[in-house]
């Protein structure tokens, strides 16, 4: 049986009627959409892909709005996708960097100048992650967790009680040193002034506390 065709006028009239019906029956329309989506996952995927190709700007704005409305879910989905497609994601990143190297470096340079504190914090976090990776230490912690640790200790050194300042901020000290099988998790991080951090170095925390007269 040949496929039925409609004139542009008939299609427009049909679309207008469907829109009005969905507005009058939102719950029924949502139920039918879900039922069709569950029954035709491949067709739905292909239809959405075609729509994104025809309307790239609308698709970008919709994605941005969804990520803003559901940031935690968006991050979880991104992490899961990256873990399942790690090699292809890395290759895409490398290809993009090669094709737009000068533009990317220029943007990074501008961002560093505009956000010196954030840039410094990101480098510190990177160095801690790198040290942990080299020493096969597990765990990781975010900048937000570090801010909470500082607040919990009232921005004072865990060892001597010195208060951190803008010129001499407190540093991250791994209570059990990474070199001694300590982790890079937030629960193993305490705020420390630079002199205490340097003196403690790889020492056992109990022995270091005794050397300061904190323990008998």
Non-local (6+) Cβ contacts of 97 within 8 A are 104
Q: Is the distance from CB of 192 to CB of 170 less than 8 angstroms?
A: yes
Per-residue pLDDT of the chain (216 residues; tens, 9 = 90+): 566 777 888 888 888 999 999 999 999 999 999 999 999 999 999 999 999 999 999 999 999 999 999 999 999 999 999 999 999 999 999 999 999 999 999 999 999 999 998 888 888 888 888 888 888 888 888 888 999 999 999 999 999 999 999 889 999 999 999 988 899 999 999 999 999 999 999 999 999 999 888 875
CATH of domain 112-211: 3.30.40.220
pTM attached to this predicted model: 0.57
Tokens of 60: 């970008």
Closest CA to 146 of 191, 115, 193: 191
Q: Domain ranges in the chain?
A: 112-211
Helix/strand/coil for 170: coil
């Amino acid at each position: 049986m040949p496929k039925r065709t409609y004139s542009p006028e008939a299609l427009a009239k049909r679309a207008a009627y469907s829109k009005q019906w969905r507005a009058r029956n939102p719950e029924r329309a949502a139920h039918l959409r879900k039922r069709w989506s569950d029954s035709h996952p491949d067709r739905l995927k292909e239809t959405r892909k075609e729509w994104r190709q025809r309307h790239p700007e609308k698709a970008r704005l919709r994605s941005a709005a969804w990520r803003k409305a559901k940031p935690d879910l968006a991050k979880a989905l991104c992490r899961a996708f990256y873990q399942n497609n790690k090699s292809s994601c890395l290759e895409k990143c490398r290809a993009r960097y090669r094709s737009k190297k000068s533009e990317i470096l220029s943007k990074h340079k501008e961002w560093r100048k505009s956000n010196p504190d954030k840039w410094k914090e990101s480098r510190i976090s990177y160095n801690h992650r790198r040290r942990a990776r080299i020493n096969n230490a597990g765990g990781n912690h975010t900048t937000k967790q570090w801010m909470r640790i500082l607040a919990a200790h009232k921005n004072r050194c865990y060892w001597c009680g010195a208060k951190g300042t803008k010129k001499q901020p407190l540093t991250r000290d791994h209570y059990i040193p990474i070199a001694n099988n300590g982790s890079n998790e937030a629960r193993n991080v305490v705020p420390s002034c630079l002199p205490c951090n340097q003196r403690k170095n790889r020492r056992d925390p109990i022995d270091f506390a005794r050397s300061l007269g904190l323990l008998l």
